[in-house]
Structure 1
Amino acid sequence: MIDFHRRRDCPHPAAAPEPVTRLRRRDGEPYPHVSQYATPALIPRLVDGSARAEDDPAWATTGACCPAGYAFWAHRMCGVAALAGLVEHRRGERLELVPTAEDLLDVGGYVLTPERVHGLVYAPLVELLRTRWGIGARVAVDLPAADLAREVAAGALAIASVHPAVRLAPEPPPARGGHLVTLWAADDDEVRLTNPSGLPGHSQHARLPVEVLARYYAGRAVVVEPA
């Protein structure tokens, strides 16, 4: 049974700590990096299980009502962080992650059952991009990595499904898909991406050869029209 509550129904509201400045854009990178975790420096320990999201000192910067509310979403917000980076890049608007996750829940982008959370569902995300921010996009399935890279090289952006182990590329992944990253530049040989759970100083921004991307990529993406 999953334990979920909306911010307005938070049973354990906590006083927010002092604001913490979050990494958004690395020097020299034209595309913003938005981490799905409040404290990017904790990512290695959060993903290996040696630290708990509830103990992240910067939880309030995500717009959560309490540490437990942040922890519910933290490991599930890769798509929310990808959306936040896209909106910042295209519209100059900075989104709070947990309220945005709840907005996506309201429109079907996440589906809660007693046992699990399903999502991010692409079609509601595409519709929200269109109606709220006037950004055109489409759902792409069975799209090879080379074809996706060509669209990005032509000016599109892509929120693509890859295996979470992409943060350790080029190590071989155990499967494809399960995590969302943003492809924001490409040429004939490689793509540039930003990873919401990327390791600080290593894979928050990354360059990958297209053939390496293909090892992680599940053939599914939200392809955003060129600006």
Structure 2
Amino acid sequence: MTCPACRLPVHTQFASPGLVGPIVEGGLDPADDPGWADSGADSPAEYARWAGHLCGVTCLRMALGAGAPPLFALRDGALKYGAYTEDTEGAIRGLVYAPFAEYVREVHGLEATVHRHLSTDEIVALLDEGRTVMASVHYGIRHPERPAPGRGGHLVLVTSRTPDGNGVHFHNPSGTTATTRAAELPLTDFERFFAGRGVSLAGDTRQGPQTGADPGA
């Protein structure tokens, strides 16, 4: 699926978009996703262990446009740079912004800037400069009609502003429906879920790459 407003593909961090809801809200084991191999994972077990952590590289995959590598190939690259880490007990940590930005610049040729303090007005300004913004939000943003449970912990790709400047279009890797995967919200609603940090990307994000959860560190 491609978003008409920005011409960037819409991807989910789980291989089967129709199963995102059952996985994230219905308790379905990701290992039961029949599309797991399309992600590039080596096994259903690896896919199930990692997919819930890969909102950040899913955003990158969308920003890279047509011809982007499979999700787990991007995961492997991010791991090499330290953008994801695993502790001695196997717990997965990340996305860590600074090494992620280095990975994006060096491997994929996009300009990547870490914003540890970012307002919604600054997001709009970055969009007007032609950048996309990976913004840290609460995953509850898929239900904007409900009170925000918190801020941060999940990444979405903000792709453009609305013509009146009062809202933004964004792609949500854990959106459960077409309208929450390629979504639009007024800034006042977006801000309720937004943690005030992120990573902005610039470069040719529509022609593919030049080569082959969220602490905000």
Using the size of structure 1 for normalisation, the TM-score is 0.83
Q: Distance in 1 between matches of 2:133 and 2:17?
A: 22
Q: Distance in 1 between matches of 2:124 and 2:3?
A: 23
1:155 aligns with one of 116, 123, 130? 130
Distance apart, 1:33 and its partner CA: 0.6
Moved segments of 4+, more than 4 Å: 26-29
Residues 86-105 of structure 1 aligned to structure 2 (within 5 Å): 86-88=63-65, 92-105=66-79
Structure 1, unaligned runs of 5 or more:
1-23
Which is worse superposed, 26-35 or 192-201? 26-35
Structure 2, unaligned runs of 5 or more:
205-217
Instruction: Give the counterpart letter for 1:129 in structure 2.
Output: V
- Any idea what SS the aligned residue of 2:179 has? coil
- Count matched residues: 201
Quote the sequence identity (%).
34
Report the structure number with the largest CA radius of gyration: 1
Instruction: Give the counterpart letter for 1:185 in structure 2.
Output: S
CA RMSD of aligned residues (A): 1.6
Decide whether the 8 Å contact of 1:157 with 1:226 is kept in 2.
no
Instruction: Give the counterpart letter for 1:114 in structure 2.
Output: T
Decide whether the 8 Å contact of 1:155 with 1:225 is kept in 2.
yes
Is 1:196 matched with 2:173? yes
User: Which of the pair has the greater relative contact order for Cα pairs under 8 Å at 6+ separation?
Assistant: 2
Residues 1-227 of structure 1 aligned to structure 2 (within 5 Å): 24-26=1-3, 30-88=7-65, 92-115=66-89, 116-187=91-162, 188-225=165-202, 227=204
Decide whether the 8 Å contact of 1:36 with 1:196 is kept in 2.
yes
Instruction: Give the counterpart letter for 1:166 in structure 2.
Output: I
- Any idea what SS the aligned residue of 1:184 has? strand
Instruction: Give the counterpart letter for 1:107 in structure 2.
Output: Y
Decide whether the 8 Å contact of 1:149 with 1:210 is kept in 2.
no
Q: Distance in 2 between matches of 1:138 and 1:27?
A: 26
Instruction: Give the counterpart letter for 1:61 in structure 2.
Output: D
